[in-house]
Amino acid sequence: MMIRNIAAVVGLAVLSISVQAQYTSTFDSNNESWRFATMASPFNSGSGPAYPGTTVVGAPFLGGLGNPPGSIGVTSDIGDYQYFLTPLAWNGNRSSLMNGSITWDYYYTTTAPWNNAWGDIAIRDTLNNRWIVADVTAVSPTAGVWNTFSVNLDPSTAWKIGSTAGALATNGQILAALTNMGGVYFRGEVVAGMVETYRLDNVHWKGPVIPEAGTMASFGSFLATGLFWLRRRIKA
């Protein structure tokens, strides 16, 4: 019982000093300023497609469809290479999200096989004019259901420079992309030239859990007070 109580006090202390930067879109009532980018090619060769894309428009909002209802996407698409693109307001220095993660839900239907190695997520480094790209679907995701994907913003995810055929990105290159972030692109297109549907929902971009400024100094006294309270309770 004593160990359980001590664990509870330590847990409360950790919660009191933790802060986590994050961006979240669940598309409950609108497209939340997300965009839809048509690219000249997928992220599967060379230095990748031209930035920001051949066309960039507002992402269609699908109020009745989602996980739960409310998502962005298309219910009938033919051809091109479409990627979902984060809002302009998310651009800028996002270095505080280094060593964090991005998760998202993706749904698709198609009459043709999934094209692998197109790049499921790409981040634009506007200062160095390059992409970092990750492919998280080594096998075809299940069609007709919501799939949850995730990447880490560090070398534990196999980020590549330019395209899925590029060299592995270093820790410094990942940090540079976040510092000069010009948009995060999420794969929409399944197979070029085929009738298909695809949707995006529940995007969560989280930074690492870090101590909140000014609270570390008081951590020791907070813990000591809690342990003193526990000792009194046990003796009683």
Domain presence at residue 10: no
Q: What is the CATH number of the domain that holds 30?
A: 2.60.120.260
pLDDT per residue as tens digits for the range 10-27 = 444 444 445 567 999 999
Is 55:42 a contact under the CB 8 Å cutoff? no
Domain presence at residue 177: yes
Domain presence at residue 12: no
**How far from 154 is each of 115, 178, 199, 227, CA to CA, in Å?**
26, 11, 26, 37
Range of the domain at 197: 19-229
Is 44:165 a contact under the CB 8 Å cutoff? yes
Domain presence at residue 212: yes
The rounded distance, in Å, linking the Cα atoms of 127 and 107 is 33
The rounded distance, in Å, linking the Cα atoms of 108 and 146 is 8
Kindly report the pTM of this predicted structure.
Answer: 0.83
**Higher-pLDDT residue of 218, 167:** 167
Is 54:71 a contact under the CB 8 Å cutoff? no
Task: Give how many domains the chain has, as a whole number.
Answer: 1
Domain presence at residue 32: yes
Is 78:193 a contact under the CB 8 Å cutoff? yes
Domain presence at residue 9: no
The rounded distance, in Å, linking the Cα atoms of 29 and 36 is 18
Domain presence at residue 35: yes
pLDDT per residue as tens digits for the range 151-170 = 999 999 999 999 999 999 99
pLDDT per residue as tens digits for the range 73-107 = 998 876 679 999 999 999 999 999 999 999 999 99
Domain presence at residue 14: no
